[in-house]
């Protein structure tokens, strides 16, 4: 078993980088958007910990960081673990960080025990997993796995027009290593569940069977600015109203039950000029759809597209455009790696269940390169995440990383 | 008749202060929010024109500016005209400016003709008529008329936390004159219609019978930030969805026809943290209701309040608060002043109709102090306003100010 106190201490230390106090709730949150100064400071801290643990650190052209512990067979493909340390703007201490710091904690434990493995073990930190700064999630791992090109990724811009490429250079994390990752032997990622299933089933860890499909798009609505007092309702082309109708319609698609286990979220919404007595001329919004079934996802996307067409035709002066931000299909994880994880949990006498991931993870990208699966750690408060209230107990975190250590050891000696 | 070319030139000159180029439409708009640097520059320009026209200028504690042309009877109450030069962020050249520059053009014409009047004539410029920077419209005139206190007004803040009082001092327009205006003999304001009625009736000018009621409130919705991928729909408290439901419901109140001639606009809407994969924790929006019938307005406000209560109760974790920003009842204008205006239009052989104002105007506040009415000037493109497309022809503007001149002369000799 790993050193749970040391793991916890590193989680709490990292959470101070980019920390903020939430006035309303009194909670302390984390805001470490990818490639901001806070993220760069977090990266420097974690790289220092990697080096202290004896890892050889390399940084690739996407700013993905890998720390390597050599095995006895230098020609053998490494076993990879890791996750991300970028966060959303209203995050907690655990999302991503548990996987990265858990990987480092495994290495520290192996070092203390003098354990050598046949295969090298590598700990990865992937860039912009959250996708909230540059608009595409699992970005660093998707480029490492070859699904997206570095050119596409480097040209992505944030809301202020900064490019990802420019921010990599600015923060000093534009590394020299080729971003295309040579296939590892296997990949295992430990992550908080970010949902209620483990708590509902009262088990500490989960074996993740796969990740549901994710569809992100941005919708821009052009209407016509007009005076709120004088413009008759029939002459309006209200971009804000159209946005609201889309949001309400999306919920009705979910509630209809006709699209399987669909989830729909409009997280980003702005109107312009955003003034009390002006009918909005323009609205911009994102639509985040999730579905474990690719066919149902396609049907839901078609239903949304049909609604957008009808909306555009319903009122002269309204026009809508959509832009694809991110799209991933349902990704099933490897059976044999799931078995290794389940066996590791059994070895630690930890109850476990199998479950599908609701969130996207770097593991789903690396799964294209090698046998992959994930370990989920139980969260409190319905598993709330992307919120300062996000919390997993020190015991739950240590249990997850114990399972990770045992699974990595087993895979590294294959 | 006044000098229409000179009037037009001053409108175009003033429109360059705070001008911007609208990329999408290729139009040139005006952004001169109250007490910004642009508004201060506009004020300085117009004060210079007032002084060139021989007006004695005074500035009150709300930054309202009055230019006075003496009459032959120094003890007689003045006839007041005027309007505002602050604008919304996406404005045209005419809203408010026509009334102020029209008043100055009348004075120039009287000077050129050597015409003296019994009563003084004053031209007023009122602060923050639009209400979009500090949240309450017709603010300067409402304080001048005693409906609101200067303490209330000075403490209002913009979105960046600047107080109106501080901005008055910063821009140099915190004047020494007592803001409470001594009752004028009469008030006449010339303004663009900002709506389609005059154009539909193919007449150049309108005699305004009154202003419909205005109700502004801000609604803040607190929900719970949560992960878009992992949070089951039934566990969500989505502040953005609630905002959308309010917007859609408001339109259904309008479309029901059950609240008379109700108009409803949500012009301001923000969500927080405003990120793709986070269920909005908070939303803030404004509701602008208009109704020519105070009883129908009250019913519409009650219907909205009931909907907000139901919404709050519909989902655990949602809470809603409302804040009153502005509220004015239906204001009828004075019959005798309307007759003077109609007679003046007849004198100039201009066809006219009577109509109600859809927009709020300083005249509705000054109406509490003295007999008041307004002259409306026809606009093109359905009378679109609060939009760079806002346009009235040089002829239409000159016609309106001709009527203003004749009406002011008649009232000043009463
Ligand atoms: N784990 C996680 O929060 N990933 C971000 C991508 C997503 O929205 O699912
Ligand atoms: N005339 C005008 O645009 N007034 C602003 C106040 C309102 O929204 O009606």
Give per-residue pLDDT as tens, A194-248: 999 999 999 999 999 999 999 999 999 999 999 999 999 999 999 999 999 999 9
pLDDT at A103 over 90: yes
Q: From atom 4 of ligand 2, which residue's Cα is the shortest distance away?
A: B360
The per-residue pLDDT for B180 is 97
pLDDT at A206: 98
Q: What is the DSSP string of B222-236?
A: E---EETTTS-GGG-
Q: Which helix (H) or strand (E) holds B356?
A: strand B352-357
Cβ–Cβ contact A84 with B under 8 A: no
Q: Report CA-CA distances (Å) from A112 to A2, A53, A116, B159, B337.
A: 10, 10, 11, 55, 94
The H or E element spanning position B364 is helix B362-366
Nearest to B314 by CA among B259, B384, B236, B253: B236
Per residue in B61-89, pLDDT tens? 999 999 999 999 989 999 999 999 999 99
* Mean pLDDT of the region B372-395: 95
pLDDT confidence of residue A3: 98
pLDDT of residue B27: 92
What b/e string do you get for A253-292 counting C-beta neighbours within 10 Å, with b at 16 or more? bbeeeebebbbbbbbbbbbbbbbbbbbbbbbbbbbbbbbb
Whether the pLDDT of residue B254 is over 90: the answer is: yes
**A292 Cα to the center of ligand 1, angstroms:** 15
Q: What is the pLDDT of residue B73?
A: 96
pLDDT for the residue A28: 95
Give the pLDDT band of residue A254 (cuts 50, 70, 90): very high
At residue A62, the pLDDT reads 97
Q: Quick count: other Cβ atoms within 10 Å of Cβ A381?
A: 13
Which residues sit with their C-beta closer than 6 Å to ligand 2?
A 227-229, 277; B 95, 129-131, 137, 194, 359-361
Q: For a pLDDT cut of 90, what percent of chain A falls above it?
A: 98
| pLDDT score of B24 more than 90 | no
Q: Is the pLDDT of residue A337 over 90?
A: yes
For range B157-174, the mean pLDDT: 94
Provide mean pLDDT across the span B171-200. 96
Average pLDDT estimate for A322-333? 96
Could you tell me how many CB contacts below 8 A there are between chain A and chain B?
255
Percentage of chain A lying above the pLDDT 70 cut: 100
User: By C-alpha distance, which of B212, B192, B210 is closest to B386?
Assistant: B192
Residue A24 has pLDDT above 80, yes or no: no
Q: Quickly count: other Cβ atoms within 10 Å of residue A151's Cβ.
A: 9
Cβ contacts (< 8 Å) between A130 and chain B: which residues? 277
Q: How confident is the model at residue B385 (pLDDT cuts 50, 70, 90)?
A: very high
Over range A33-41, report the average pLDDT: 98
Instruction: Report, as an integer, the average pLDDT of B22-48.
Output: 95
Q: Is the pLDDT of residue A23 over 90?
A: no
- Residue to test with chain B: of A96, A275, A279, A361, most B Cβ within 10 A: A275
Pairing of strands B28-30, B65-69: unpaired
Give the mean model confidence (pLDDT) for residues B116-138: 97
Q: What's the mean pLDDT in A31-57? A: 98
Mean pLDDT of the A19-32 span: 91
User: Reduced to 3 states, what is the DSSP secondary structure of residue A221?
Assistant: strand
Q: Is A248 on the interface with B (CB under 8 A)?
A: yes
Comparing alpha-carbon positions, the chain B residue that sits nearest to A285 is: B276
Whether the ω angle into residue B273 lies within 30 degrees of 0, i.e. cis, is yes
Instruction: Name the average pLDDT for chain B.
Output: 97
Average pLDDT over residues B252-262: 98
Q: What is the pLDDT averaged over residues A365-393?
A: 96
Q: What is the pLDDT of residues B199-243, one digit of tens each?
A: 999 999 999 999 999 999 999 999 999 999 999 999 999 999 999
**Secondary structure (3-state) at A287:** strand
Which of B131, B255, B274 comes nearest A276 by C-beta? B131
The Cβ of residue A32 has, within 10 Å, a number of other Cβ atoms equal to 27
- Arithmetic mean of pLDDT, A137-141: 97
Q: How does residue B25 score in pLDDT terms, banded at 50, 70 and 90?
A: confident
A275 vs B88: CB contact, 8 Å cut-off?
yes
The answer to whether the CB atoms of B267 and A286 lie below 8 A apart is no
The whole-number pLDDT of residue B65 equals: 98
Cβ contact A377:A399 at 8 Å: yes
Closest-approaching ligand to the CA atom of A278: 2
Q: In Å, how far from its chain's centre is CA A185?
A: 23
Report CA(B63)–ligand 2 centroid distance (Å).
Answer: 19
pLDDT at residue A85 tops 80? yes
Q: What is the pLDDT, as a whole number, of residue B22?
A: 86
Of all ligands present, the nearest one to the C-alpha of B229 is 1
């Amino acid at each position: 078993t790993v050193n749970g106190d040391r793991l916890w201490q590193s989680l709490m230390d990292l959470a101070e980088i980019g920390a903020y106090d939430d006035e309303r709730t009194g909670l302390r949150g984390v805001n470490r958007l990818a490639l901001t100064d806070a993220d760069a400071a977090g990266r420097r801290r974690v790289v220092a910990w990697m080096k202290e643990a004896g890892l050889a650190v390399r940084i690739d052209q996407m700013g993905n960081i890998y720390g390597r512990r050599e095995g006895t067979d230098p020609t053998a493909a490494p076993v990879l673990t890791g996750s991300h340390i970028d966060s959303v703007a209203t995050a907690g201490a655990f999302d991503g960080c548990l996987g990265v710091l858990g990987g480092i904690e495994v290495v520290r434990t192996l070092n203390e025990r003098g354990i050598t493995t046949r295969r090298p073990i590598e700990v990865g930190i992937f860039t912009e997993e959250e996708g909230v700064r540059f608009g595409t999630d699992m970005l660093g791992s998707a480029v490492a796995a070859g699904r997206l090109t570095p050119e596409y990724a480097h040209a992505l811009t944030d809301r202020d027009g900064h490019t990802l490429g420019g921010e990599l250079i600015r923060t000093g994390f534009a590394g020299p290593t080729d971003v295309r990752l040579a296939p590892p032997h296997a990949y295992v990622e430990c992550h908080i569940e970010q949902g209620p299933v483990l708590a509902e089933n009262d088990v500490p860890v989960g074996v993740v069977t796969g990740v549901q499909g994710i569809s992100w798009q941005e919708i821009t609505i052009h209407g016509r600015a007009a005076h709120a007092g004088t413009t008759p309702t029939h002459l309006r082309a209200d971009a804000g109203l159209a946005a609201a109708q889309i949001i309400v319609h999306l919920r009705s698609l979910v509630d209809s039950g006709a699209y399987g286990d669909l989830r729909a979220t409009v997280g980003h919404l702005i109107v312009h000029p955003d003034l009390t007595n002006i009918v909005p001329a323009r609205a911009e919004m994102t639509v985040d759809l999730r579905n474990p079934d690719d066919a149902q996802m396609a049907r839901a996307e078609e239903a949304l597209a049909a609604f957008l067409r009808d909306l555009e035709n319903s009122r002269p002066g309204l026009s809508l455009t959509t832009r694809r931000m991110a799209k991933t299909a349902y990704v099933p994880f490897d059976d044999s790696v799931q078995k290794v994880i389940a066996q590791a949990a059994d070895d630690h006498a930890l109850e476990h269940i199998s479950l599908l991931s609701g969130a996207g993870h770097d593991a789903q990208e690396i799964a294209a390169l090698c046998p992959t699966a994930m370990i989920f750690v139980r969260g409190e408060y319905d598993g709330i995440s992307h919120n300062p209230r996000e919390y997993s107990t020190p015991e739950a975190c240590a249990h997850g990383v114990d399972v990770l250590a045992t699974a990595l050891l087993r895979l590294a000696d294959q």
